Structure 1
């Protein structure tokens, strides 16, 4: 048996969690929201709407879109977006440690 849980940030509705985190990690890796969305099995429109909703709930931009040109367009995380990702990663890691300790306390091996 193991512990399973979901963690997300809420601001009058789900604002940020594992799905958007994975999407943004994909953008960070590929430089493309379209490519990151495809990797997540999500349409570009759904990804774009999801990130727009997150930005609205959080009150800051997390993604900067670059309009296409000779080398094509792309997307990069804003400094606020990068900060959000780092803080979410740290929060998730700490929460995991604490929850594992509590789990072992109540369900020892």
Structure 2
């Protein structure tokens, strides 16, 4: 079966990055990390699910927590009962708003994306 960039099976998608001056960028990686922290209840597990080291995941969480007025992630240290992490109300709000923005942008840009896609060359997979 031939898969190429003009097949409907590999639909184009937008990857939104919001730049807040020079201090912070919020994009798909950080938002996916928030979503997985919510899913797994652990920064380590969220990072592993993204093939990311714990150090990198923790660094991103710290960066987001410092940048926002209210921390986005609440975490507790491991120990006999194990640690954990969860999104704060602010974290949940950022996640919901970012995902909604993705939906709005995809819908608003659908016609233009289709026009651009129609201009692409048919390139076989792996070339």
The TM-score range, normalised by the shorter chain, is 0.7 to 0.9
TM-score, with length taken from structure 1: 0.84
The change in CA–CA distance for 1:107 and 1:61 in structure 2 (over 3 A counts) is same
Q: Cα distance 1:103–1:68, how it changes in 2: closer, same or farther (>3 A)?
A: closer
Name the structure 2 match of 1:24. 34
Partner of 1:61 in structure 2? 71
Q: How many residues align?
A: 108
| Stretches of structure 2 lacking an aligned partner (at least 5 in a row) | 1-5, 119-127
Tell me the TM-score normalised to structure 2 length.
Answer: 0.73
User: Greater CA deviation, 43-52 or 67-76?
Assistant: 67-76
| Aligned counterparts of 2:17 and 2:116: Cα–Cα separation in 1 | 25
Unmatched segments (≥5 aa) in structure 1 = none
Distance 1:107 1:40 in 2: 30
Residue 65 (structure 1) shift: 0.4
> CA contact under 8 A between 2:13 and 2:106: conserved in structure 1?
no
Change (3 A) 1:108 1:24: closer
Q: Which residue of 2 aligns with 1:100?
A: 110
1:6 to 15, 20, 25: 15
What is the root-mean-square deviation of aligned Cα atoms in Å?
2.1
CA contact (8 A) 1:15 1:57 kept: no
Bigger-Rg structure (1/2): 2
Large movers: runs of 4+ above 6 Å: none
